[in-house]
């Protein structure tokens, strides 16, 4: 990064540029994160007039307004001070008083030039490390905003449904779902874990894939933080909105059933304890989805859950005795299944319990589209392996363990021939 210019700008000029969309927020910028006290404190400083301490940082990507031909600058540092505070107080203050404050308050604007978007992000992280810390959730959200068409209107409601379901079901088992307004950093970790749970469910991952969702602050090598979001973005775009919408519905149904299943075992095993910890229950949800993906026997998983609750009392630490006789412990972590086999052994289960089982259906000469599964024409639970046809996962789940009707089989056979 190099500085290509520095000037002192009045807040009135900055606000005019904001209104004309000549000073805008880049995708990686956060939303409105300052509370009312911080905004009021900053407004009071502006009201006294003069040049403010500190500076804002802007940059231009050789973009110009189509009508005015004026250069468009992105605000890499100063969004809370300039963008959000000024636009909020424009609607709160007397217009004449608002204009008086803006005319008499000045801020140093540093214009930067970056070699790459990676450098822009790294500088953004460094600039914000001394102020309100940027959480990984705030930064990686830009991946969806920039990568999904009509994100706010089309895709965000689906994400909101996932978060809403998790909040309700966590409350159902007695866990606390962190309020973003009260505890921003913790809430953002949980929200990323919500997305990791959905990813594991929707992709049917069988590899114990783990994600780094528990970080409080962003590392300057921010791409490492975005593994989850980049993978989810690829899946969403490759699958399509309609199928994703159905998968979100299936996910919410699954979480409902899983929470009830856990709650029942909890009440049987630990009736005197109030509730498990948030991280413990979330980790168990990851395990339950993984167990379903690998075809684990339901009774085996039920026994594992009983032993896990008995051994940990719903806490994150799992204590065990090493082969050398030493007392050791490992922890359940958000979106991390790397130590699943070790935890299974520690609670008294077979360490090979979570080894993926071979698929029940026969192999196919072609791949299924995302959101589809192989369905048995004759119910597997009654007839065992037999003829299979590709079918939407939602339809398969709704039919349950009954045989396909002749009409259903003919319709799916026709679709299979068209695919081949």
**What are the residue boundaries of the structural domains of the chain, listed by start?**
2-133, 151-346, 372-419
Classify 240 in phi/psi space as left (phi over 0), alpha (psi -120 to 50) or beta: left
Tell me the pLDDT tens digit for each residue of 170-228: 999 998 777 766 787 888 899 999 999 999 999 999 988 888 888 776 655 555 667 88
Tell whether the model's pLDDT for residue 254 goes beyond 50: yes
Tell me the pLDDT tens digit for each residue of 297-325: 899 999 999 999 999 999 999 988 777 88
Q: How many Cα atoms are found within 13 Å in the side-chain-facing hemisphere of 88?
A: 17
Do the Cβ atoms of 328 and 318 come closer than 8 Å? no
Cα 48–Cα 12–Cα 36 angle in degrees, nearest 5: 60
Please give the average per-residue pLDDT across 134-153, as a whole number.
79
Give the integer Cα–Cα distance in Å for 376 and 390.
9
Q: What residues have CB less than 8 Å from 75, skipping those under 6 apart?
A: 23, 24, 25, 26, 29, 56, 57, 58, 82, 83
Question: Which stretches of 173-240 are DSSP H helices?
Answer: 184-203, 227-239
Tell whether the model's pLDDT for residue 412 goes beyond 90: no
Record the pTM: 0.69
Q: What is the pLDDT of residue 140?
A: 74
Please give the average per-residue pLDDT across 144-165, as a whole number.
89
């Amino acid at each position: 990064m190099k500085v290509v210019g520095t000037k002192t700008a009045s807040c009135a000029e900055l606000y005019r540029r904001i209104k004309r969309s000549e000073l805008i927020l880049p995708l990686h910028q956060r939303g409105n994160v300052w509370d009312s006290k911080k905004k009021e404190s900053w407004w009071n400083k502006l009201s006294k007039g003069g040049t403010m301490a500190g500076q804002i940082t802007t940059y231009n990507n050789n973009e110009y307004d189509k009508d005015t031909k004026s250069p468009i600058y992105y605000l890499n540092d100063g969004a809370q001070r300039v963008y959000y505070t000024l636009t909020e107080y424009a609607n709160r203050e007397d217009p004449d008083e608002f204009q008086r404050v803006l005319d008499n308050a000045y801020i140093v604007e540093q214009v930067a030039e970056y070699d790459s978007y990676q450098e822009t992000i790294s500088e953004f992280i460094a600039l914000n490390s001394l102020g309100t810390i940027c959480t990984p959730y705030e930064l990686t959200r830009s991946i969806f905003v920039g990568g999904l068409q009509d994100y706010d209107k089309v895709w965000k409601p689906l994400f909101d449904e996932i978060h809403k379901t998790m909040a309700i079901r966590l409350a159902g088992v007695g866990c606390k779902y962190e309020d973003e307004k009260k505890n921003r950093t913790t809430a953002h970790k949980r929200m990323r874990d919500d997305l990791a749970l959905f990813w594991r469910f929707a992709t049917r991952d069988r590899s114990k894939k783990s994600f780094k969702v528990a970080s409080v602050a962003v590392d300057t090598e921010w791409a490492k933080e975005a593994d989850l979001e980049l993978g989810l973005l690829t899946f969403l775009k490759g699958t399509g909105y309609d199928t994703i919408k159905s998968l979100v519905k299936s996910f919410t149904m699954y979480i409902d059933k899983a929470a009830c299943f856990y709650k029942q075992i909890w009440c049987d095993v630990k009736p005197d304890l109030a509730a498990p910890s948030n991280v413990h229950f979330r980790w168990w949800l990851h395990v339950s989805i993984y167990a379903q993906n690998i075809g684990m026997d339901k009774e085996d998983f039920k026994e594992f859950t009983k032993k896990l609750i008995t051994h940990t009392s719903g806490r994150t630490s799992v204590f065990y005795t090493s082969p050398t006789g030493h007392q050791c412990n490992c922890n359940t972590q958000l979106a991390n299944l790397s130590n699943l086999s070790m935890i299974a052994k520690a609670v008294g289960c077979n360490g090979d319990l979570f080894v993926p089982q071979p698929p029940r259906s026969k192999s196919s000469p072609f791949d299924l589209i995302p959101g589809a599964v192989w369905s048995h024409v004759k119910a597997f639970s009654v007839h065992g392996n037999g003829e299979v046809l590709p079918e939407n996962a939602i339809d398969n789940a709704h039919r349950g363990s009954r045989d396909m009707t002749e009409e259903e089989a003919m319709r799916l056979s026709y679709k299979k021939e068209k695919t081949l």
